[in-house]
Every structure is written in C-alpha cells, then in structure tokens.
C-alpha cells in the first residue's frame, strides 16, 4: 500500500505545491502518513530526500510482508495440527471457522486507509472507520486505523528493530582499531612488529567496500579534478549537485556554541552499514585491529564512519563518544583523539579537519573529518612568521602571502603539549563566539587555525551575488585550498584570481585579525612560559 499512498500524496503535492518547501520537507510530510513500524525505521535515518524515503519505505514494507507471510503460515500449520488433534480425540478446545475471522472485515480494495494516511501527512483529521475488523485482519491491513494499544505495541516492536540497526544498539559488532599513545614519532614507517595492515590501509579498504555497496551519493573517483596554475596551485574537483544531496543545516549560523538537539539529525541515526570501525586507546601500548569487537550498552565508543558525500578518497568522519551526544564544540580530550587518528595514518597526505558552527559545520553533533589526497595543500606551502612561543615550547606563527588569515601551531615537547595548546585556542574562540576551522597537517605536526566570517557576511547581504551563485560553503578544506565546485561553469572558468577573490570575502579584515590574534596569544600566554617572539621567518 506504500505505492498507493505515494500516488495520492503526490497528487496533493501537485495541487498545493506551496505546502512543500523542498525534497527533504516533502519526505518529512510523507513519513507522517506511514504506519508506525515503517515510520520509525525511516525516521531513524535522519534527513533524507523524498526519493530515498520512498525507497526505504518500500523496502521495509517488503520485509514486513515476508515476516507476516511466515507468521501466517505458522498459524495455519498450528490450526491444522489442532484440528487433527480434535478429530483424533485430542484437545476439546473449539476453533472459530475461517469464515468467522473475516466477518465484518473492510474491503481491501477500498482507498479509505490510503486517503486517511495522506490526510494525516498534511495534518488533517482522519476519517473514522465505519466498521470493526477482526484483530487478525487489522494486523494484516497496512493503512486501516487501529486501536491505540495495537499501535503502541507495533511502535514498541519497531523501536526495537530500529535500535538494533543503530550504533547505539547494546551489542553492535564493529572492527576495532586500538591506537598507541606510547610512540610519539609522527609520519614514520610502521615499526617492525606492528600490524602488516596499517591503520590507513585498512581504513581505505573498508571505505572502498562501502563504495562497492553503493552507499555514497556520487563516485568521487569519476569526478573531474585539476590543479589551477598560479602561485598557490589551488585544487578543484567538480561534484555537480553535491549541495542538493547533503543533509540540510538545521541550526543558527550566528552562534558557535549551541546545545545538542536530539530532535535534529545526529550520527546515531545513520545506518549501521555507514560505520567503519571503532577507534580506541590501546590498553597495552600496542596498536592493532580486532575483529568484531562488541559495543556494550554502557559504553560510548569513538566511531569512524563514511562521509556519504565525499570530496576525496577515504573521506570519513571521526565521532568522539558518539553516545554522549556532544554538540559541535572543541574539548581537549576530543581534540587529542583527532590528533591520534591523524598520527595513526602515518601518511602526510591523510589530513583531518574541524569546522565550528558558523564556519560551515552542517551537523551539531561533535565530529571531525578526514580524507586522503596525494597532493600538497596550498596553505601548507605558504611562508609563515613565528609570533610567539607558548606552553612547553609550542611555536605560534601567522600565515603570510595567503588570502585567508590564520595561525599555525607546531613544536612542543610532545603531541599532548601541541594538542592542548591548539585546543585551548579553539576553546577561547568558541567561547568568544568566533567561527573557525582547523586543519591537521603532516600527521599532526602542524595545525592550522583558520579564521573566517563568511556566514555572517552572507547573512547580512555583504557577499556579491556572483559569488553566492557558486554555492560554495568555505569550510576547513576550502580554506586549505581544496574546493568542491557544484557547477560545470565554475569548474571550467576557475582561476587562481577567482579563488583568491572568493577567499577574500571569507577572511577577516587585517585589523580584525590583529585583534583576534592578540586575544588568542593573551589567553595562551597567561603562564610564565609564554613569551613574544621577535618575528623569525620560517
């Protein structure tokens, strides 16, 4: 009956098109009219387009019919057995004839149930049934209004099924990678005695497996890529329509710190097939993989999942303590976890990034991104000038001769020193309501803290229409020099001059950057270790 409901629903949408804002809103309206067992399973996937919603509903209905068929066959087998026992002098219990079970049942060909479902989707009251069906018939009729207790029972059953398909299930089994905190050397070959299959090799292998399964919105390997000639050699890739397939942003753009909202999309709603493995600290100091490590209900694992709208090979998400439902805000522990992940890759071409709210993070559930791209980023090649040394010898430098203004952190006694210094700067910025992006480079040896104000300029109408038409949202990758373009025209006409003009709209003014920079250094140099540098060039 999903198909019949979809036809009626589509007719109404055609008659009152203003009732639907976009494909995602259309999907949400459509879900309202589905049966609870289907509705809950569809809702567990978060924001999806109408086409995806319809496909999932049809799939769930097909599976439900298989289960119902098996159950009815089992019941008929039981009825035959009891009838045989009675005829042979067995049980004296009476059984109602089949004709009695169908007495007073509704017409299966009647469109009443489908019409009610469609009315419910748009918020109108549903019609009351004119006759009562037997409980057995009500269970087998998809759109017939049911008693509240039956619907509640079905919803509980559907919730159990949905829970089993989510990462919050009591015992989902995932591949586990245990990272080591002992070896502080970065970007070195895997030592002898370590696993033959490296962290990065297995990550890319699992990512490729999800590609074969068809879980991505597009094939990134088939997307055109080129490096622009010029001083910076910006990298651009053409992914037509990528912005239409991504999940929509569901929060304010003018507040960097916002509370977690469980009613909006979060990563516990993604499909289990999108999860790659857990990423946890080793208990014995040795790194390695473990097959099918259970997630117990009391734990909140660190999860690595695919990004279903990738812009490069191996594009993944790191979701720290996924079941703690942390909002998108930096804390020292999670930042250090990202440092250990980029270190575990042992390859400078695997980078990680972070986007704050207001700097084009699209989901308010704490996450970092990472991917493999075998080319040097433009921001990694520009000269820098040391402006301070803080903490245990962490050098703070500023970018020179680059269209985006920002700071570069490196050095320190160990990775923990560097991580604490950069995360402290990020915490200062987010508490000051300053949007920012972070790029983890060279296996965590260099961290770029990039400042921007594009979203606020956009909101106040200060961005030129020509730039707005490109529909490029500048996050950590774009600020680093890697751009995903959505239109063929922009890709064909792209130039370094045009990219620099765009990034100039993103960057803080020189005066504002100097004020923010001094505030960051002041916050980091509160202790006796902090000191100003005379301006040594790197």
Domain presence at residue 344: yes
CA atoms within 13 A on the CB side of 518: 5
On whether residue 75 sits in a domain, the answer given is yes
Within a 10 A sphere around the Cβ of 12, how many other Cβ atoms?
16
pLDDT of residue 512: 97
In this structure, the number of other CB atoms found within 10 A of the CB of residue 149 comes to 8
What's the pLDDT at 341? Answer: 98
- pLDDT truncated to tens, each residue of the chain (538 aa)? 788 888 888 877 776 655 666 677 788 778 777 877 676 666 555 557 788 788 888 887 877 776 667 667 766 666 665 665 555 554 443 333 333 333 333 343 444 555 555 555 545 445 444 444 444 433 333 323 344 444 455 455 454 444 444 444 544 678 899 999 875 555 555 444 444 469 999 999 999 999 999 999 999 999 999 999 999 999 999 999 765 656 666 767 789 999 999 889 999 999 889 999 999 998 888 898 888 677 665 578 999 999 999 999 999 999 999 999 999 999 999 999 999 999 999 999 999 999 999 999 999 999 999 999 999 999 999 999 999 999 889 999 999 999 999 999 999 999 999 999 999 999 999 999 999 999 999 999 999 999 999 999 988 999 989 899 999 999 999 999 999 999 999 999 999 999 999 999 999 999 999 999 999 999 998 743 344 443 443 3
In a domain, 184, yes or no: no
Cα–Cα distance between 1 and 15 in angstroms, integer?
22
Q: Which residues contact 17 (CB under 8 A, 6 or more apart)?
A: none
CA distance 399 to 510: 12
Same domain, 337 and 428: yes
Catalytic annotation present for 367: yes
463 lies in some domain: yes
232 and 94 fall within a common domain:
no
Q: Is residue 347 a part of any domain in this protein? A: yes
Q: Hey, which residues does 235 pair with through a beta bridge? A: 227, 482
Query: Are residues 389 and 252 part of one domain?
Result: yes
Residues 492 and 382 in one domain: yes
Q: Is 104 found in the same domain as 37?
A: yes
Does the model's pTM come out above 0.75?
A: no
Give DSSP secondary structure letters for 110-163. Answer: -SHHHHHHHHHHTTPPPPPPSSPPPHHHHHH-SSS---HHHHHHHHHHHHHHHH
Residue where a domain stops, chosen among 123, 140, 164? 164
Q: Judge residue 134's burial from the number of C-beta atoms within 10 Å of its C-beta, 0-12 exposed, 13-18 middle, 19 or more buried.
A: middle
Same domain, 152 and 237: no
Q: How many CB atoms lie within 10 A of CB 419?
A: 24
Do 468 and 363 share a domain, yes or no? yes
Residues 46 and 106 placed together within one structural domain of the fold: yes
Question: Cβ contacts of residue 158 below 8 Å, gap of 6+?
Answer: 36, 37, 38, 39, 40, 41
Q: Is residue 294 part of a domain?
A: no
CB-hemisphere CA count at 13 Å for 296?
2
Distance CA 87, CA 183 (A): 78
Contact residues for 313 (Cβ-Cβ < 8 A; gap 6+)? 204, 207, 220, 221, 371, 372, 373
Q: Do 145 and 235 belong to one domain?
A: no
Q: Which of 104, 138, 164 is the last residue of a domain?
A: 164
CATH of the domain at 260: 3.30.428
- Dump strand ranges (E) for 384-534: 384-390, 394-399, 406-411, 436-441, 446-451, 482-485, 531-532
Asked if residue 278 belongs to a domain, the reply is: no
Domain annotation covers residue 33 = yes
- In a shared domain, residues 235 and 349: yes
Where does residue 391 rank: exposed (0-12), middle (13-18), buried (19+ CB within 10 A)?
A: buried
**Same-domain status, 230 and 146:** no
Evaluate whether 102 touches 137 at the Cβ level (below 8 Å).
Answer: yes
Domain span at residue 72?
2-164
Q: Total structural domains in the chain?
A: 2
Domain boundary residue among 164, 183, 201? Answer: 164
Q: Which of 315, 365, 367, 482 is catalytic?
A: 367
428, 486: one domain: yes
């Amino acid at each position: 009956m999903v198909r019949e409901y979809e036809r009626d629903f589509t007719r109404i949408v055609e008659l009152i098109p203003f009732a639907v804002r976009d494909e995602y809103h259309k999907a949400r309206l459509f879900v309202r009219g589905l049966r609870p067992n289907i509705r809950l399973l569809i809702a567990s996937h978060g924001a999806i387009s109408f086409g995806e919603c319809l496909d999932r509903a049809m799939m769930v209905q097909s599976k439900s019919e298989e289960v119902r068929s098996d159950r009815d066959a089992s019941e008929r087998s039981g009825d035959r057995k009891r009838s045989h026992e009675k005829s042979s002098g067995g049980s004296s219990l009476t059984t109602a004839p089949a004709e009695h079970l169908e007495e007073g049942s509704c017409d299966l060909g009647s469109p009443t149930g489908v019409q009610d479902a469609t009315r419910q989707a748009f918020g109108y009251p549903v019609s009351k049934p004119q006759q009562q069906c037997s409980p057995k018939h009500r269970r087998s009729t998809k759109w017939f209004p049911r008693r509240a207790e039956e619907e509640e029972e079905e919803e509980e059953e559907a919730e159990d099924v949905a829970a089993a398909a989510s990462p919050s299930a009591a015992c989902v089994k995932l591949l586990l990678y245990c990272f080591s905190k002992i070896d502080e050397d970065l970007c070195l070959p895997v030592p002898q005695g370590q696993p033959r299959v490296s962290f990065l090799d297995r990550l890319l292998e699992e990512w490729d497996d999800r590609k074969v399964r068809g879980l991505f919105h597009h094939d990134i390997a088939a997307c055109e890529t080129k490096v622009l000639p010029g001083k910076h050699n910006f990298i651009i890739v053409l992914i037509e329509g990528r912005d239409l397939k991504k999940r929509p942003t569901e929060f304010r753009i003018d507040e960097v710190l916002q509370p977690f909202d469980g009613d909006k999309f979060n990563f516990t709603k993604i499909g289990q097939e999108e999860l790659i493995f857990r990423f946890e600290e080793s208990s014995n100091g040795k790194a390695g993989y473990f097959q099918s490590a259970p997630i117990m209900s009391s734990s909140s694992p660190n999860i690595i999942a695919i990004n279903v709208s990738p812009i490069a090979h191996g594009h993944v998400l790191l979701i720290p303590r996924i079941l703690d439902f942390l909002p998108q805000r930096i804390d020292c522990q999670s930042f250090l976890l990202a440092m250990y992940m980029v270190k575990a890759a042992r390859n400078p071409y695997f980078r990680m990034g972070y986007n704050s709210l207001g700097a084009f993070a699209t989901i308010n559930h704490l996450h970092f991104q990472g991917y493999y791209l075998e080319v040097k980023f433009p921001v990694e090649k520009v000269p820098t000038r040391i402006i301070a040394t803080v903490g245990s010898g962490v050098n703070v430098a500023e970018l020179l001769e680059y269209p985006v203004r920002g700071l570069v952190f490196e050095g320190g006694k160990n990775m923990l020193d560097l991580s604490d210094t950069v995360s402290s700067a990020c915490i200062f910025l987010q508490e000051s309501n300053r949007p920012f992006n972070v790029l983890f480079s060279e296996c965590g040896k260099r961290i770029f803290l990039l400042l921007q104000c594009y979203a606020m300029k956009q909101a106040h109408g200060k961005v030129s229409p020509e730039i707005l038409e490109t529909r490029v949202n500048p996050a950590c990758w774009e600020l680093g020099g890697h751009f995903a373009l959505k239109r063929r025209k922009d890709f064909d006409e792209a130039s370094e001059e045009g990219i620099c003009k765009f990034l100039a709209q993103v960057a803080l003014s020189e005066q504002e950057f100097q004020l923010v920079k001094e505030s960051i250094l002041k916050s980091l140099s509160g202790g006796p270790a902090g000191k100003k540098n005379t301006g040594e060039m790197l």
